Amino acid sequence: MHVVIPYVVGALLFGLGVYGVLRRRNAILVLMAVELMLNAVNLILVTADVSLRSALTGVVVESWARPGSAAPGTGGVLALFVIVLAAAEVGVGLAIILQYYRMRRAVVVDDVRLDADEERVAG
């Protein structure tokens, strides 16, 4: 298989995620774009597991990078870890967004006023 295809797909998805984070004003849509970026990284990790392992066979390298020392599947394990991190991030992120919505009735990232709370505390 030609590994360049999933690599390019991952790069394009990451670009789309960056575009979404910068373009969207709704906080939930920003989280969705972050998910796209995390998935792009996962895809590249899994692909690297395929390509680098076969590219390194027969190459004399440092001991910490020897392909025989790391059993196949390391990229998949790292991808699993990233998926777990993403799940935790979405949970906490949505809790923050919902709490903010309960306080201000808005989910627009542009309109978040950081000084409003201080005024209220001072007043």
Partner 1 sequence: MTVADVLLLALGAVAVGAGFLVVTSAHLVRSGLYLVVSLGAIAGLYLVLGAELVAWVQILVYVGAVVVLLLFAVMLTRAPIGPSPDLDRPAVPAVLVGGGAGLGLAALFADAFRWVRYPAPEPGTAERVGEQIFGAWVLPFEVLSILLLSALVGAIVLSRPDIGARTPAVAEEHEAVAEQNKAVAEEHGQEV
CB of 48 to partner 1, least distance (A): 10
Which position among 65, 108, 112, 118 is part of the footprint of partner 1 (CB under 8 A)? 108
- Contacting residue, 61, 65, 66, 103, with partner 1 by CB under 8 A: 103
Q: What is the amino acid identity at position 91?
A: G
Q: Is the dihedral of CA 26, 29, 31, 33 positive or negative?
A: negative
- Spatial CB neighbours of 53, under 8 Å, sequence gap ≥ 6: 67, 72
Nearest approach in angstroms of CB 53 to partner 1 is 8
Token pair, residue 28, equals 């939930």
If binding is defined by CB under 8 A, does position 99 make contact with partner 1? Answer: yes
Give the residue, chosen from 16, 64, 67, 119, that forms a contact with partner 1 under the rule CB under 8 A: 16
Q: Burial-class residue 52 by CB neighbours within 10 Å (0-12, 13-18, 19+).
A: middle
Q: Which of 58, 60, 62, 92 binds partner 1 (CB under 8 A)?
A: 92
* 116 touches partner 1 by CB under 8 A: no
Site membership for partner 1, residue 53 (CB under 8 A): yes
- Count CB neighbours of 13 within 10 A: 19
